[in-house]
Amino acid sequence: MKKFGVVTLMGAPNAGKSTLLNAILGEKLSIVCHKRQTTRTRVAGILTEGNTQTLIVDTPGIFFDTKRKLDKAMVSAAWQATFEAHLIFLIVDVKASYLKEDITKIIAKLESVSDKVVLILNKIDLFKDKSSLLSLTKELSEAFPFKDVFMVSSKKKEGVGRLVSFMKKNMPDGEWMYPEDQLTNLSERFLTAELTREVLLHQLHEEVPYGLTVHTEQWETFDNGDVKIFQMICLERVSHKAIVLGKKGQKIKHIGVLARQEISKALGCRVHLKLHVKVDEKWQDKPDFFHDLGLDPS
């Protein structure tokens, strides 16, 4: 008998949700950064092992002081992803105790689906003395009837195997929804735009990376297997353009080199990457942008 189910990874920004998705899949699918609000939409990976197929959905971090339309759409996408899940993994960064208030608010909203919620304490590699984790586990377990509790390091891939076994065991009987060798429901165009955005997140500071979006506009494949990709980096402020381009265009050149390396690694072929930069102060108001990301702009 085959099994199929959906697992949603949720939690506060920066908890390590995307890192955990990549660790479970053994592939880099969702972009990762030490800055908050890296993931902007639901990113689904597919794990097919033995008779079980699991759709694992990474979501944007949940926070409560949402101001921009994009923030609201991101957080709403994360909540929506919990409705369809057979299991909800609530990822908590064990070092971010300052976030406890937000975690309390998140678990209050999970009350009605409490039988599906599993607590994942992440980043345990940052603790030498693991016994200090017990008080956090106790505190959270007293606040909410979690189905189970796991301690992992997504970065070091510690505890991930045990979590995957648990996940597979808890999937319901059902026909697979995807071919056995499919890893994601993301398009290559989206995935490669995300890799460029990841480089921009790491290379740019303050508000600049939050006010930009990357779109793959054109894709050519050559007979020798090389691909040529044209991407547009859209900025929301004129003043950001000089920062992204850098002196004599050095910054964007460097970003292009790094992004090309990442994309080439992901696609497994030689890549020619052409980056263009434009300013559109209103990109966050355009319904097309939200639709491309699978977000609801309302």
Ligand X SMILES: Nc1nc2c(ncn2[C@@H]2O[C@H](COP(=O)(O)OP(=O)(O)OP(=O)(O)O)[C@@H](O)[C@H]2O)c(=O)[nH]1
* Contact stretch for Mg ion (CB under 5 A) within 14-22, 251-259, 279-287, 288-296: 14-22
15 in contact with ligand X (CB under 6 A): yes
113 interacts with, out of Mg ion, ligand X, none, CB within 5 to 8 A per kind = none
248 in contact with ligand X (CB under 6 A): no
18 in contact with Mg ion (CB under 5 A): yes
* Contact stretch for ligand X (CB under 6 A) within 14-22, 174-182, 208-216, 240-248: 14-22
C-alpha neighbours within 13 Å on the C-beta side of residue 147? 18
196 interacts with, out of Mg ion, ligand X, none, CB within 5 to 8 A per kind = none
39 in contact with Mg ion (CB under 5 A): yes
Nearest residue to ligand X, by Cβ distance, number only: 61
Amino acid in position 283: W
Closest to ligand X by CB, 43 vs 46, is 43
- Beta strand extents in the chain (DSSP E only): 3-11, 43-49, 52-58, 87-93, 117-122, 148-151, 212-221, 227-235, 271-279
Amino acid in position 179: P
Q: How do 43-49 and 52-58 pair as beta strands?
A: antiparallel
Give residues 109-128 in contact with ligand X (rule: CB under 6 A): 122-123, 125-126
163 in contact with ligand X (CB under 6 A): no
Q: How do 148-151 and 227-235 pair as beta strands?
A: unpaired
Q: Is 50 left (phi over 0), alpha (psi -120 to 50) or beta?
A: left
According to DSSP, residue 158 is labeled B
130 in contact with ligand X (CB under 6 A): no
40 interacts with, out of Mg ion, ligand X, none, CB within 5 to 8 A per kind = none
Size of the site for ligand X (CB under 6 A): 23
264 in contact with ligand X (CB under 6 A): no
Inter-helix orientation angle 238-245/250-267, to 10°: 70
38 in contact with Mg ion (CB under 5 A): yes
* Cα distance between residue 14 and residue 261, in whole Å: 25
Shortest distance, CB of residue 80 to ligand X, whole angstroms?
16
| Alpha-carbon radius of gyration of the chain | 20
Inter-helix orientation angle 133-143/100-109, to 10°: 30
Question: What distance, in Å, lies between the first and last C-alpha atoms of the chain?
Answer: 42
Shortest distance, CB of residue 156 to ligand X, whole angstroms?
6
Shortest distance, CB of residue 89 to ligand X, whole angstroms?
11
170 in contact with ligand X (CB under 6 A): no
Query: Which residues bind to ligand X, rule: CB under 6 A?
Result: 13-19, 32-34, 36-39, 60-61, 122-123, 125-126, 153-155
Query: Which residues bind to Mg ion, rule: CB under 5 A?
Result: 17-18, 38-39
